[in-house]
Amino acid sequence: MRMVDIIEKKRDGQQLSQAEIEFLIKGYTEDKIPDYQISAWAMAVYFQGMSARETADLTIAMADSGERVDLSAIKGIKVDKHSTGGVGDTTTLVLGPLVAAAGAPVAKMSGRGLGHTGGTIDKLEAIPGFHISLGNDQFLENVNKLKLAVVGQSGNLTPADKKLYELRDVTGTINSIPMIASSIMSKKIASGADAIVLDVKTGNGAFMKSLQDSEALAQTMVEIGNRVGRKTVALISNMDQPLGFAIGNALEVREAIETLQGRGPADLTELCLALGAHMVVLAEKAENYDQAYERLQTMLTTGEAIDTFKKFVVAQGGDPGIVDHPQRLAQTAYQFDVKATESGYVEAIAAEEIGRIAMMLGAGRQTKEDAIDLAVGVMLAKKVGDHVTPGDTLATLYANQQQDQALAQRTLQAFRFSPQPIQVPKLIQQVIR
Ligand code: URA
Ligand code: CA
């Protein structure tokens, strides 16, 4: 087989065979096919697309390019969740304990944040003492006992995806639905999930800005899941504003705790209940969605959800005292309020920009090597639909440096106002299965 023939075939709009896809992924992983040929192929895919069958073959070839996590020692249907990069997206911290409390096993590998999006592993590190790595046996034992463990990615998972993603990033080929879908799904499959719930963000803070593109991405991922024997459900959720009020690591831990106690922000709570109910159904721990939803909702008020969170924190070496004493989480030296200068209804809050502001305060990384400040971030005081008058606090910046006037100004400008009351967009826009 010759790579040049494969490139020409795709360039001319033909389908590649499974053998051809395996050849190019294996060859690239082993450095036998050079970047320039894979770049040409990726650009051909960008323009010509891939069939559902090719996309599934690419997913499996990438999942098999490195190790696969073996979760067979865990009883039950292991269900994983993936979000396509939101801002202030605290869902995993809430969902893990919530779904585990309902009996669905969650053996999760999470990542760190980069750019304007945060990462679950950084948030967990904001819990004093928390270990984000466990030995393999401990990891499996925790999931069997508690139904929950969350660790950082380790081992050599999907090396082909890592190389290809970096190459796509510098060759203008990120924005291809079959390549995004196979990239995400290959990682979920390699990390051992039996069933997958996807939260595909749409709108300002999201990868996919239009509902149409988000739908296409969601459909492609669900189809991959079905073809490779992993039950998959995708929700499309709105990101025309950050999720919840908190953006920043320790701030989001606090928000997650409040949500697990049934007093969290309405949007974060709703999204967690919806994603969680689908996870519980896929794990076959409830008959149907409505039953699962109600059960989870009850757990937020009975204390079962927050108790599972405490046990999870203890099981990974952290201080469960943060639940009753949130001041044990890292605090900042300064807090600055950003105030409204006009009156009106909040129409949108540029999520991506708020994510960048949190990053500039120190909550996120501009490059993979940057150190971050776990305490800092942004707390919104107003959300889309709220009415404000001049002098009302829109957001508070939690900082460890003296006030940065430019950042305060940018925060103000991230809010868009309307003179008329505005219809709050539906958080969950669609469910695809
Ligand atoms: N996230 C991924 O993991 N892969 C992509 O290709 C895009 C977003
Ligand atoms: Ca949040």
pLDDT at 336: 96
Are 344 and 365 in contact, with CB atoms under 8 Å apart? no
Asked if 131 and 269 sit in the same domain, the reply is yes
Q: 16-26: per-residue pLDDT in tens?
A: 999 999 999 99
Asked if 190 and 297 sit in the same domain, the reply is yes
Q: 343-375: per-residue pLDDT in tens?
A: 999 999 999 999 999 999 999 998 888 889 999
Q: Atom 2 in ligand 1: which residue has the minimum CA distance?
A: 184
Asked if 297 and 379 sit in the same domain, the reply is no
Task: Please report whether residue 57 resides in a domain.
Answer: no
Query: Mutation test of ligand 1: which of 80, 84, 200 has the most ligand atoms closer than 8 Å to its C-beta?
Result: 84
- ipTM of the modeled complex: 0.92
pLDDT at 209: 80
Q: How confident is the model at residue 244 (pLDDT cuts 50, 70, 90)?
A: very high
Task: Please report whether residue 369 resides in a domain.
Answer: yes
Task: Please report whether residue 12 resides in a domain.
Answer: yes
Q: Structural domain tally of the chain? A: 3
What are the b/e assignments for 380-397, b being 16+ CB within 10 Å? Answer: bbbbbeeebeeeeebbbb
Has 168 been annotated as catalytic? yes
Asked if 188 and 312 sit in the same domain, the reply is yes
Query: What is the domain-level CATH number for residue 367?
Result: 3.90.1170.30
Asked if 411 and 284 sit in the same domain, the reply is no
Q: How confident is the model at residue 389 (pLDDT cuts 50, 70, 90)?
A: very high
Residue 245 Cα, ligand 2 centroid: separation in angstroms? 5
Q: 263-319: per-residue pLDDT in tens?
A: 999 999 999 999 999 999 999 999 999 999 999 999 999 999 999 999 999 999 999
Query: What is the domain-level CATH number for residue 22?
Result: 1.20.970.10
Has 82 been annotated as catalytic? yes
Task: Please report whether residue 223 resides in a domain.
Answer: yes
pLDDT at 212: 93
Residue 318 Cα, ligand 2 centroid: separation in angstroms? 21
Has 110 been annotated as catalytic? no
Which ligand 1 atom is nearest residue 183's CA?
Answer: 4
pLDDT at 419: 97
Q: 161-208: per-residue pLDDT in tens?
A: 999 999 999 999 999 999 999 999 999 999 999 999 999 999 876 778
Task: Please report whether residue 114 resides in a domain.
Answer: yes
Which ligand 1 atom is nearest residue 165's CA?
Answer: 6
Asked if 159 and 237 sit in the same domain, the reply is yes
Q: 66-111: per-residue pLDDT in tens?
A: 999 999 999 999 999 999 877 888 999 999 999 999 999 999 999 8
Asked if 277 and 346 sit in the same domain, the reply is no
Asked if 241 and 169 sit in the same domain, the reply is yes
Task: Please report whether residue 151 resides in a domain.
Answer: yes
Residue 337 burial (CB count, 10 A): 15
C-alpha distance from residue 17 to each of 40, 65, 272 (Å): 18, 17, 40
Among candidate residues 324, 349, 369, the one where a domain is terminated: 324
pLDDT at 127: 97
Task: Please report whether residue 431 resides in a domain.
Answer: no
Task: Please report whether residue 242 resides in a domain.
Answer: yes
* Ligand 1 touching residue 110 (CB < 6 A): no
Among candidate residues 324, 352, 384, the one where a domain is terminated: 324
Asked if 314 and 340 sit in the same domain, the reply is no
To the question of pTM greater than 0.90 for the whole model, the response is yes
Structural domain that includes position 29: 3-49
Asked if 160 and 256 sit in the same domain, the reply is yes
Has 227 been annotated as catalytic? no
Please list all protein residues whose beta carbon sits less than 5 angstroms from ligand 2, which is an ion. 88, 90, 243-244, 246
Asked if 95 and 233 sit in the same domain, the reply is yes
Q: 284-297: per-residue pLDDT in tens?
A: 999 999 999 999 99
Catalytic residue among 83, 182, 183, 214: 183
pLDDT at 57: 98
Q: How confident is the model at residue 411 (pLDDT cuts 50, 70, 90)?
A: very high
Among candidate residues 301, 324, 347, the one where a domain is terminated: 324
* Ligand 1 touching residue 162 (CB < 6 A): no
Asked if 97 and 216 sit in the same domain, the reply is yes
Averaged pLDDT score across all residues of the chain = 95
Q: Which two tokens stand for residue 187?
A: 């990682």
pLDDT at 203: 85
Q: How confident is the model at residue 116 (pLDDT cuts 50, 70, 90)?
A: confident
Has 161 been annotated as catalytic? yes
